[in-house]
């Protein structure tokens, strides 16, 4: 953001339940996040903005543009979530089960590591435990992405709505990211009317952190291009 702040007036708010923002004990949804952004922009008296979102933030930014198109000049989506992917429900169920592991069960697995190695199960169990630890750091994201009723999550997916986005959109995607992430970005690309798609071949799932300069330059060029049209 520092690279962009020289040219643009930038805000980087933490989403509700993330980072340093409030963490109320409420039922999270994409629409709730959209409304929290709407309240922030109203408080700041900003009438039209460019929204930039990464992963889950991309889903929220696109949802905002669909609900409040008159307030959005353009969208920049970095590896956005929010469209249907093959075997998605199965992955949701697997992640739910990981979070449902009791701390005692986790301790038990760690205690019997030597036995697990004998049977060749240690790599899979270690991966599961690491993923669980990672998920526990982001409770709001977990609730938004897979800890709600399946019907509720599906109702907020965007594959049937993206063609209604009226503003210019830039999509940035890491070429070394997961196949699901690349698929989702490609889906956004295919369905949005005014879209530029850029694949950063050497980048993985940490595009904003690993390619800060490239991302900033692409955003700057995109905004300047939109201003000229």
Q: What residues are paired with 52 via a beta bridge?
A: 76
What is each CA distance from 172 to 133, 196, 211, in whole angstroms? 28, 9, 11
Predicted pLDDT of residue 120: 60
Predicted pLDDT of residue 21: 64
Pairing of strands 49-54, 169-174: unpaired
Predicted pLDDT of residue 104: 63
CB atoms within 10 A of CB 47: 10
> What are the tens digits of pLDDT across the range 62-91?
999 999 999 999 999 999 999 998 877 777
Residue 18's nearest CA partner among 36, 4, 5 is 36
The pTM of the full predicted model, rounded to 2 decimals, is 0.81
At the topology level of CATH, where does 2-84+157-228 sit?
Answer: Rossmann fold (3.40.50)
Give the DSSP letter of residue 148.
S
pLDDT means over runs of 10, the chain (229 residues): 82 75 76 94 96 95 98 98 85 73 62 62 65 71 79 94 98 94 96 97 91 95 92
Predicted pLDDT of residue 146: 75
Report domain extents, the chain. Answer: 2-84+157-228, 88-143
C-alpha 227/C-alpha 219 separation (Å) is 12
CB 27 within 8 A of CB 35: no
Give the CA angle between residues 18, 22, 27 to the nearest 5°.
Answer: 75
């Amino acid at each position: 953001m520092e690279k962009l702040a020289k040219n643009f007036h930038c805000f980087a708010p933490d989403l509700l339940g993330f980072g340093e923002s409030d963490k109320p004990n409420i039922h999270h949804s994409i629409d709730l996040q959209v409304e929290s952004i709407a309240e922030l922009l109203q408080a700041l008296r900003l009438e039209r903005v460019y929204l930039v979102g990464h992963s889950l933030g991309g889903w929220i930014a696109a949802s905002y543009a669909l609900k409040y198109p008159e307030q959005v000049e353009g969208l920049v989506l970095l590896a956005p979530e929010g469209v249907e992917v093959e075997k998605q429900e199965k992955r949701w169920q697997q992640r739910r089960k990981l979070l449902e592991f009791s701390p005692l069960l986790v301790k038990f697995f760690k205690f019997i590591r030597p036995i697990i190695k004998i049977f060749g199960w240690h790599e899979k169990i270690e991966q599961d435990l690491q993923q669980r630890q990672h998920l526990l750091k982001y409770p709001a994201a977990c609730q938004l992405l897979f800890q709600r009723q399946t019907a509720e999550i599906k109702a907020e997916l965007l594959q049937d709505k993206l063609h209604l986005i009226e503003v210019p959109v830039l999509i940035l995607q890491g070429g070394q990211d997961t196949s699901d992430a690349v698929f989702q970005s490609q889906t956004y690309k295919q369905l949005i009317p005014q879209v530029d798609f850029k694949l950063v071949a050497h980048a993985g799932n940490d595009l904003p952190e690993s390619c800060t300069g490239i991302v900033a330059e692409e955003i700057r060029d995109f905004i300047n291009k939109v201003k000229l049209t």
